[in-house]
Structure 1
Amino acid sequence: MFGGGGMNPRKMKQMMEQMGIDVTELDVEEVVIRTGDEDLVFEDAQVTRMDAQGQQTYQVVGEPESREPSAAAIEGGDGDAGDDADDGIPEDDVALVAENAGVDAETAREALAETDGDLAAAIAKLE
């Protein structure tokens, strides 16, 4: 995991526990990382979650398959492909902006449309 340079894994775990770092192996079926250009899909990835000082860090180990950005939605990979309105703005984004800016969903959707889907810009615009 950390390339302990030949350190005994038990000793490494003991040291991490002393520093307040908790490491957990997660049993995952698939990991998808979406970028503007592609979806990186990891099948049977090894995922480790590390909790340290109130922050969670995830490490993904495996070989990704590169797919077109729309491939996951077409194949039903993310489960919310049909939840978007005709404007293509995800409902999750609308809800997030509405909640953080304290506005209704329609106002949040309009702000997202005006900012080309930029969540932070939409929230800032509404505050």
Structure 2
Amino acid sequence: MVRRKIKHELISNEPKRKVTFKKRKGGLLKKMNEIMTLCGVMGCAIIYSSFNNQPKIWPFPPELTRVLHRFMELPKEERERYTVDHKTFLGRLISWSSNALEREIKKNRGLKSRTNIK
């Protein structure tokens, strides 16, 4: 069975949005639990929503404190390597896209020069 493509847009029906949020949050936390168990890594999640006053903290606060403490003990360069904000993400994406474009331009020039030689 083939899955159909999902449009990523705000769900206008609030009860439906709330149910979808709850299901996806559960799926995300389940996947985090699996990756922590199977791969032996540490992880945590803090999920804010407009439906609850309190954020959902996973795993429970003592484990979360340990994960965050271990992260904060890393040197600043290491921490910055693992954290990405929106601005950094877009900057990296633009840089990667520019490099890919340059490679394609060089590749096309090479193809043009080979066809002109023949």
TM-score of the two chains, using structure 2 as the length reference: 0.23
TM-score of the two chains, using structure 1 as the length reference: 0.22
Greater relative contact order structure (CA < 8 Å, 6+ sep): 1
Larger radius of gyration: 2
| Higher percent of residues as strand | 1
